Structure 1
Amino acid sequence: MQKLSPFKKLGLSVLIASCFLTPSPRTFAKNVRPPLMLANPYHPGVRLADYWVSEKYDGVRGYWDGQALWTRGGEPVHAPAWFTANWPKTAMDGELWVAHEQFEQAVSTVRQQTPDDAAWRRMHFMVFDVPAYPGTFDERIRVLKDLIHKLAKPWVVYVTQTKVSDQKSLDSMLAQVIKLGGEGLALHRGDSYYRGVRSDDLLKIKPHTDAEAKIIAIIPGKGKYHGMMGALLVETEDGQRFRIGSGFNDKDRHSPPVIGSWVTYRYRGMTARAIPRHATFMRIRKDVAQR
Structure 2
Amino acid sequence: MLATPGSLPSPAVEDLYAFEVKQDGQRATIYLPGDGTLRVRARGGTDITATYPELLPLAEALGGRPAVLDGEIVALDDQGHSDFERLQQRMGLAGSPAKAARMAARMPAHLMLFDVVHLGGRLLTKLPYAERRGLLENLGLAGPAWSTPAAITGHGGEAWETVRDAGLEGLIAKRLTSRYEPGVRSKNWLKIKVHRLADVVIGGWVPGRGRLTGLPGAVLVGERHDGLLHYAGSVGTGWSHAERTRLAALLKVAATGTCPFAKVPPVTGARWVLPRLVGEVRYTSRTRAGRLRHPSWHRLRPDLAPDGPHLT
Q: Counterpart of 1:162? A: 152
CA contact (8 A) 2:15 2:153 kept: yes
Structure 2: give runs of 5+ residues left out of the alignment: 33-37, 119-123, 197-203, 220-232, 236-263, 271-292, 299-312
1:139-189 Cα deviation digits (max 9, x unpaired): 111111122x1x552311102111234xxxx33322322332311111111
Counterpart check, 1:176 vs 2:162: yes
The amino acid of 2:109's aligned partner reads M
Q: Distance in 2 between matches of 1:101 and 1:142?
A: 24
After superposition, where does 1:1-291 map in structure 2 within 5 Å? 36-42=1-7, 45=10, 47-66=13-32, 67-77=38-48, 78-87=50-59, 89-99=66-76, 100=81, 102-113=83-94, 114=96, 115-121=99-105, 122-132=108-118, 133-134=124-125, 135-147=127-139, 149=140, 151-165=141-155, 170-196=156-182, 197-208=184-195, 229-231=206-208, 244-246=217-219, 247-248=233-234, 251-254=265-268, 265-267=294-296
CA contact (8 A) 2:29 2:40 kept: yes
Give the CA deviation at 1:206: 1.7
Structure 1: give runs of 5+ residues left out of the alignment: 1-35, 210-223, 235-241, 257-263, 270-291
In structure 2, the CA distance between the partners of 1:152 and 1:58, relative to structure 1 (3 Å rule), is closer
Give the CA deviation at 1:245: 1.6
Given the two structures, how large is their TM-score scaled by the length of structure 1? Answer: 0.57
Given the two structures, how large is their TM-score scaled by the length of structure 2? Answer: 0.54
Q: Distance in 1 between matches of 2:150 and 2:55?
A: 21
In structure 2, the CA distance between the partners of 1:117 and 1:253, relative to structure 1 (3 Å rule), is same
Give the CA deviation at 1:233: 6.7
In structure 2, the CA distance between the partners of 1:123 and 1:192, relative to structure 1 (3 Å rule), is same
1:180-199 Cα deviation digits (max 9, x unpaired): 23111111111111002112
Identity of aligned residues (%): 22
**Paired residue secondary structure (2:4):** strand
Q: Counterpart of 1:27? A: none
Q: Counterpart of 1:17? A: none
**Paired residue secondary structure (2:117):** coil
CA contact (8 A) 1:52 1:190 kept: yes
Q: Distance in 1 between matches of 2:6 and 2:168?
A: 17
**Paired residue secondary structure (1:159):** coil
Which of these two proteins has the greater Rg computed from alpha carbons? 2
**Paired residue secondary structure (1:126):** strand
Comparing 246-255 and 194-203, the one that deviates more: 246-255
The amino acid of 2:134's aligned partner reads R
- Where is the strand percentage greater, Structure 1 or Structure 2? 2
- Where is the helix percentage greater, Structure 1 or Structure 2? 1
In structure 2, the CA distance between the partners of 1:108 and 1:50, relative to structure 1 (3 Å rule), is same
Q: What RMSD over aligned residues (CA atoms) do the two structures have, in Å?
A: 3.4
CA contact (8 A) 1:208 1:268 kept: no
Q: Distance in 2 between matches of 1:244 and 1:92?
A: 40
**Paired residue secondary structure (1:108):** coil
Aligned length: 198
Q: Distance in 1 between matches of 2:217 and 2:104?
A: 34
